[in-house]
Amino acid sequence: NVFKHLDRLVELYLDHNNLHTIGAHAFPPEIETLHLQYNRLTFKSNLIISGYTAISEDENYTQSLSGLNNLKYLKLEHNLIETLYMDWAINLPKLEELDLSFNHINYLFDGNLQFLQENLRVNLQNNQITLIELRNLEIYTQNVTKRSPVKVELGSNPLNCNCVILDLVKLLKDNSKIRNAIEFDVSELKCSRPETLRGKDVTKLDPYSLLCKLDDENTQKQRCPENCDCEVRPIDHAILVNCSNAALTSVPVLPNPVNIGMKHIELDLSNNYIDELPDRTKVIGYNNVSRLFMDHNNLSRLHAMNIPQNIQLMTLNNNNLEWMNETVLRQLNQTNSLEKLYLSENSWKCDCSTIEFLNYVQSQYRKIGDLNKIMCENGEQLSKMTTDDFCPKENTVVILIAVLVALFGVAIAIAALLYLKFSQEIKVWLFAKGWCLWLITEDDLDEDKKYDAFISFSQRDEDLVAEYLVPELESGEYPYKLCIHFRDWIVGDMIADQVMRSVAESRKTIVILSPNFLQSVWGKAEFRQAHQTAMQEGRSKVILILYGDIGDISKLDPELQTYLSTNTYLTWGDQWFWRKLRYAL
């Protein structure tokens, strides 16, 4: 009560003293300016930091400055204060300036900033603030009506730029949700930690660079794999697991991101001795991997189940891979999330058995991050190769005309002249008699055909036709024109008529003989029509592709038994399948 009776006291200088404590009700309520700078004041309150969250054990009220309803300027710079107290924000209604610069405040959270005053300037510069957590600031300020915002100056503090300050960084980029309540001045606020961000201006921070350790000394059960370094990145709910250069021979058990509020894992396994990736269903956390760095390992084989379902990036370069089978390539094609794939510095085989790998690389070239660096084991650049380079065609051309000319001379020359002059009449006559049909090519007989081939198949096998046969045969150096019922049939026509028309208008009929086909009434009808047409014309028009296990041939329809026992057919999966099919066409 030392100043109790000074009812006209409006400004009081107590600066540059050795004050440690100020009792309750020490100042008269009329006072407007208090100079308490350069003392040893603490207004002590216990503040505990546990993990990432501050917990106040009391109400954070000082009581020393309560009842000063006219106080406008509170000068507290150069003291030993360690926190902001609630009564400064609530019980000093006319406060316009609160100077707390050059104190020992080391932590700031949203609960400290619930100021009710208008036109208030809070100076927190040159403190020891390392962490600023504003997770709930939007909630605290959402009911603030239009007013002049509180200005909080934060410059020249040794900020630890980890994931705790994410909300501050986001608010600095877009303060629209709090602009009526608080305005932050962060000039000269730079990172002091971590080392990678030291000296970085907080306004220029990338939210993706703000990380926190997954485990610390207070974590009871360590979640990070042994010899690995794990961090969390809240901006995209990611766990970063760095196991590079750890001398690993297998993929370790990973933390489950769902258990800690995260969604996916970025896993760095580069520069190890791993020769095989795990089944995504059997190793905890592996199926949550979105970015996998597997370069510089001993990986020699890859299976479809090794590929996480939502993978975005895979680095498989600098391994011992030689080929990828069809199921792996299909899995990669079906993984819509995949953005980048690195494959260079492997011993890729480039022969007839790996043509599907070439097709994948060339069709997905935008996703291959090191396309121009992928080399075959023979040193050829894969991106510049063609299917003919992978699987060269045999030179089977026989110069028959030259031999015949040498043997028969003038007689053949005369016959050739007659044939050239009356070729059409000769072909029609020979065909009608059934003689010398070898002189009549299928191109001559089929030149009026609308399609190169009609594909007959069960609707249940549509994926095989739509995803493999059609794209392969209708593209390439010699594309074919195909008749497919779901694309080319006329809506509303009788199915039987459409079958007959499709067979008649096609040079060949390709039949996908599968267990599904054998159960299809219309499939058998299509085969029967094609077979009868071929018998009438006396030449082979049916190309049979065996797809799946059809069981005992002796139990099939008589026509199918006869055809299979007297004709050759193709088998899906044969390494020469595509070459044989194009030859048959």
The average pLDDT across 310-326 equals 93
Asked if 159 and 283 sit in the same domain, the reply is: no
Decide if 232 is inside a domain.
yes
Q: Residue 332: its pLDDT value, please?
A: 92
Position 317 pLDDT exceeds 80: yes
Min mean pLDDT across 127-141, 373-387, 433-447 is at 433-447
For residue 394, pLDDT beyond 60: no
Q: What is the mean pLDDT of residues 510-527?
A: 76
Predicted local distance difference test score (pLDDT) of residue 244: 95
- Determine, yes or no, domain membership for 2: no
Residue 253: inside a domain: yes
CA-to-CA separations, 290 to 20, 236, 287, 301, 337, in angstroms, rounded? 56, 12, 8, 20, 9
Q: Which amino acid is at 143?
A: N
Q: Is residue 16 assigned to a domain?
A: yes
- Tokens standing for 545? 């592709």
Q: What is the CATH number of the domain that holds 483?
A: 3.40.50.10140
398 token code pair: 């026989």
Q: Given this model, what pLDDT does residue 506 score? A: 84
Residue 568 has pLDDT above 90, yes or no: no
pLDDT tier for residue 392 given thresholds of 50, 70 and 90: confident
pLDDT for 62: 67
CATH code, domain with 167: 3.80.10.10
Residue 4 counted as domain residue:
no
Instruction: State residue 536's pLDDT score.
Output: 63
Domain with 90 in it: 11-49+56-210
Q: Quick one: 228 and 292 in the same domain?
A: yes
Q: Report if residue 3 sits inside a domain.
A: no
* Residue 403 pLDDT class (50, 70, 90 cuts): very low
- Reply yes or no on whether the pLDDT at 45 is more than 80: no
Can you give the pLDDT at residue 22? 86
Q: What is the predicted pLDDT for the residue at 53?
A: 38
Evaluate if residue 380 carries a pLDDT over 70: yes
Give the mean pLDDT of 33-48. 78
Say if residue 221 is in the same domain as residue 259.
Answer: yes
- What contacts 92, CB < 8 A, 6 or more positions away? 65, 68, 69, 71, 74, 117
Region 198-214: mean pLDDT is 93
* Domains of the chain: total: 4
Q: Are residues 579 and 527 in the same domain?
A: yes
Residues 361, 499 share a domain = no
pLDDT at 47 over 60: no
Asked whether residue 6 is domain-assigned, the answer is no
| Overall average pLDDT of the 163-174 stretch | 90
Q: For 541-553, how does the pLDDT look when each residue is reduced to its tens digit (9 = 90+)?
A: 788 888 888 777 7
Q: How many CA atoms lie within 13 A of 378 on its CB side?
A: 8
The pTM of this model reads 0.60
Read off the pLDDT band of 13 (50, 70, 90): very high
Same structural domain for residues 418 and 471? no
At residue 303 the predicted structure's pLDDT band, cuts being 50, 70 and 90, is very high
Considering only residues 473 and 16, tell me which one the structure prediction assigns the higher pLDDT. 16
* Residues 346, 219 share a domain: yes
| Cα(198)–Cα(201) distance, integer angstroms | 9
**Does 198 have pLDDT greater than 90?**
yes
Are residues 504 and 420 part of one domain? Answer: no
Q: What is the pLDDT of residue 493?
A: 72
Question: Distance of CA 146 to CAs 13, 137, 363, Å?
Answer: 35, 17, 57
Give per-residue pLDDT as tens, 428-459: 445 444 555 555 555 556 677 888 888 888 88
The mean per-residue pLDDT over the stretch 59-68 comes to: 70
Per-residue pLDDT at 354: 84
Residues 456 and 527: their CA atoms lie apart, in Å, by 7
Greater pLDDT, 523 or 584? 584
Q: What is the mean pLDDT of residues 482-509?
A: 80
Q: Which residues contact 485 (CB under 8 A, 6 or more apart)?
A: 498, 502
Identify whether residues 294 and 429 lie together within a single domain: no
- Nearby residues of 479 by Cβ (< 8 Å), 6 or more positions away: 473
- Work out the percent of the chain whose per-residue pLDDT is above 90: 38
pLDDT tens across 470-487, in order?
A: 888 888 777 888 888 888
How much of the chain exceeds pLDDT 70, in percent? 83
Would residue 307 count as lying in a domain?
yes
pLDDT at 52: 38
Residue 193: strand, helix, or coil: strand
Give me the mean pLDDT over the 458-471 stretch.
Answer: 84
* CB atoms closer than 10 angstroms to residue 34: 22
Q: Residue 264: which of 242, 293, 241, 294 has the closest Cα?
A: 241
- For residue 73, which phi and psi values (nearest 5 degrees)? -130, 120
Query: What phi, psi does 425 have (nearest 5°)?
Result: -65, -40
Instruction: Among 155, 184, 210, give the residue marking a domain's end.
Output: 210
pLDDT (mean) for 8-35: 91
pLDDT digits (tens, 9 = 90+) for 139-162: 777 766 656 889 999 999 999 999
